[in-house]
Structure 1
Amino acid sequence: MRSVMTPVEAAWVAGLFEGEGCITWTSKGQAGLAVTSTDYDVIERLALLVGLGSVVAKSPRTEERKPYWIWKVGSQEDFLSVAEQIEPFLLSRRSARLREVRALLAQHQERVAARRAEKFRPGTGICRKGGHDRSAVGVTTQGHCAECDRIRNRTKKAKAREAAEAGVSP
């Protein structure tokens, strides 16, 4: 579900984000937004206005510290939706980081699409994993080499049998 904020709401979210937020990029190609606060009412309002993401309660590591809450957006679609709405209200440093992570996300999505197109061309070529001729062995509905799929299933069943014979759950 795509959430649309009014300009005033987006400006409020951007202001909070400037002070308490962070933009993340993982090595696995995941972009995210997060805001951390010890004021639950602020995080609750943020989640309500944005309408996306999740709120997680965290316990302090020491008794001297207060409990805190984190609002996170991890889905790529939600990341792009929120980023698009708050970017006009962000200052230059955060806006530049947002553009950088958007570009990284676009590059990652292009690489993934290219790999999928190369690897999962149904019924053609040689599979990259096992070297099987996919036109001879076939392709699963997910686009995987059928022979690699059969080998993987046989291996799983053999391991389950061995575990059962040893009295260990797999």
Structure 2
Amino acid sequence: MTIPKLRAGALLAAALLVLAGCSFRRHSELECMERAMYFEANRSSRDGLVAVGSVVMNRVRSDQYPNTVCGVVGQKRQFAPGVMTRRMDRVPPQVREAARSVLRGERHPLIGNAMFFHTAGHRFPYDNMHYVLVAGGNAFYEKRKSHLVTQSVPPRPIEAMTR
């Protein structure tokens, strides 16, 4: 095989990997947790950062999701667009500290088994969303059978309660 053919094959393979959502750079579990916190709850309270991290770890623990932080955070359409590929200028110290703490076992005390969140203030017509917390600009919830939902609207944000 000639060099140009090899080069063309390598370029094609690289393009297919990119189109498939794969990246050439592997992230550590800490970097993946930082990315989830940075892009989902950046400039938020520590409560918001730890809540996002707690959801990630709940998914890691679940049989319904990948069993690694990077696997969970890298799933398509589950977290902020480009969470694994967008450029991060620098990781703020509070994000790094919160990510390390969650990876060492800290969980937000109000998250429980919640595996979902959306931007606070958005409303959805579903009747299976049991809200447990609003923090860091996000509303966190568990999916339940509709007759088991006792908190169908997001509670007041934690930040508002501490003022």
Shorter-chain TM-score tier: under 0.3
TM-score (norm 1): 0.24
TM-score (norm 2): 0.24
Between structures 1 and 2, the one with greater helix share: 1
Larger Rg: 1
Higher RCO by CA contacts (8 Å cutoff, separation 6 or greater): 2
